[in-house]
Amino acid sequence: MNKLRYFLTLLVFLLPITFAAELENGFIVVQLEDLEWDESSNRVQSHVLYGNPSEAGLYIMRVRFPAGGTSNPHYHTQDRFVTVIEGTWHAGTDASHDMTATTAIPAGGFMIHPAGAVHYDGSRVGPVVVEIRGMGPVETVGVETSQ
């Protein structure tokens, strides 16, 4: 089940950006309102803004956690750099998946996920949007929840 969830999540990450405005000389603008989120969904959603996490080079994505939406414990094969855009994001730094033992990071906050470091994250109350930057190719590897 976890493998299927991660595969589906990765598939969503690879969807091409179709909402950007291209200006002269190669400038590209993505406005906040250009990112359409399904507000009624209880799934984690994402938009890749730049690059491709499965290919070499820089990628930038936005991820939206619905109220109460979380990721299972996992790690990434490359460092990832996360900025909270909206809401309060909660990050745990082990495999417990205990959302009451997380660090609350409000909008404007920043966190580094070192390559290979097990973590879980998400929302405890309202919706949360984070921006994730990193270098590809990157893989997300699920781990068993510890008790």
Tens digit of each residue's pLDDT (9 = 90 or more) over 95-134: 999 999 999 999 999 999 999 999 999 999 999 999 999 9
Distance CA 69, CA 25 (A): 40
Distance CA 131, CA 146 (A): 27
> Contact at 8 Å (CB) between 82 and 132?
yes
Asked if residue 106 has a cis previous peptide bond (ω within 30° of 0), the answer is no
Domains and CATH numbers, the chain: 2-21+44-142 (2.60.120.10)
pLDDT at 15 over 50: no
The answer to whether the predicted template modeling score (pTM) of the entire model surpasses 0.85 is: no
- Quickly count: other Cβ atoms within 10 Å of residue 1's Cβ: 7
pLDDT in the model for residue 98: 97
Q: How far is CA 109 from CA 15, 82, 121, in A?
A: 27, 8, 14
pLDDT at 20 over 90: no
> Contact at 8 Å (CB) between 43 and 69?
yes
Distance CA 135, CA 130 (A): 17
**31 vs 75 pLDDT, higher one:** 75
Round the CA-based radius of gyration of the chain to a whole number and report it.
Answer: 15
pLDDT at 14 over 80: no
